[in-house]
Amino acid sequence: MTAATTRAGRWLLRFPCRTTPTARLVCVPGAGCTAAMFHPWSALVSDNIEVSAVQLPGRGARLREAPVERIDLLADAVAAALRKEPALPTVLFGHSLGALVAFEAARRLVADPGGSALTALGVAAHKAPQLGSAGITPEEATPERLIAFVESLGGTPNSALRDPEIRRMLLPALRADLELDRSYCCSTDPPLPLPLHVFGGRTDPLVTEPEIEAWRHQAGDAFRLRWFPGDHFFLTGSDQAALVADLVGLLGSPH
């Protein structure tokens, strides 16, 4: 895997770093996941589009760092990292819990007129932010319950979850992620003044159709909802190219 972490330091990985990009797709992974889940997307876009992914503390190369348990702190950091980037047309996309982080980072970026070149927000596989937590309480977060929760979502081979070393690395970040979700409270700020595109998996066991459709209330500009076959990790399935094409289309660039 080739990735670069220039300009925005540890927060952004590029797959790979483009020499002269004209647009950027920035992705935020969900609970227990790493930036690497978006690496295959770089092969689905043209050479002028840079695919970047947010690497959160406690994951991947940042495994030794303490996970963050408040979404406002993560959103501040992601927004700050993106403000340091060249002013290219940018679509921000978040999957699952990453949808909330991306949403709050987008709020910060649009509040700063010179802060970014954000053109649209894409979110997937999470209930609308005003609906509250979907997660497990800290009291319920036993290792057995957490592993069962991950298994129920799909996307991770059960054989990997039975590996003691993988479980040791996964569980602290997953506990922190569930606390992020549980403690999050959506403010009553005005709807986002940029296009909001929402994606859901038809057989997602974690999010219902009305919960996905409720994102409409956060859209102050164009809104679009698109359903894909598949579960919580539909974005890694056979239709991922169609999803990437949708997101790239928001940049106004061919993919």
Strand 49-54 relative to strand 12-14: parallel, antiparallel, unpaired?
A: antiparallel
Query: The domain that contains 181 carries what CATH number?
Result: 3.40.50.1820
| pLDDT for residue 7 | 43
| pLDDT for residue 138 | 58
Q: Is residue 1 part of a domain?
A: no
| Tokens 């036993």, residue located | 142
Number of domains in the chain: 1
pLDDT in tens, 130-146: 997 655 665 666 777 77
- Give every residue of the chain whose pLDDT is below 70, as ranges: 1-9, 113-116, 133-141, 149-162, 166, 253-255
Q: Is residue 2 part of a domain?
A: no
* β-bridge partners, 223: 196
Q: Is residue 181 part of a domain?
A: yes
Q: Is residue 227 part of a domain?
A: yes
Which residues neighbour 128 within 8 Å (Cβ) at sequence distance 6 or greater? 211, 212, 213, 214, 215, 216, 217, 218
96 given a catalytic annotation: yes
Q: Is residue 255 part of a domain?
A: no
Burial 12-50 (b: 16+ CB within 10 A, else e): bbbbebbeebebbbbbbbbbbbbbbbbbebbebbeeebb
What is the Cα 25 distance to its own chain's centre? 11
pLDDT in tens, 47-64: 999 999 999 988 888 888
* β-bridge partners, 124: 95, 199
* Residue 215: CA count within 13 A, CB half-sphere: 27
| pLDDT for residue 171 | 76
Of 96, 152, 187, 253, catalytic: 96
| pLDDT for residue 165 | 73
Range of the domain at 158: 12-249
DSSP, collapsed to helix, strand or coil, labels residue 52 as: strand
Strands (E), the chain: 12-14, 23-28, 49-54, 90-95, 118-124, 196-201, 223-228
Q: Is residue 183 part of a domain?
A: yes
Q: Is residue 51 part of a domain?
A: yes
Cβ neighbours of 193 (radius 10 Å): 10
Q: Is residue 152 part of a domain?
A: yes
Six-digit token string for 223: 């809104």
| pLDDT for residue 113 | 67
DSSP state of 48: T
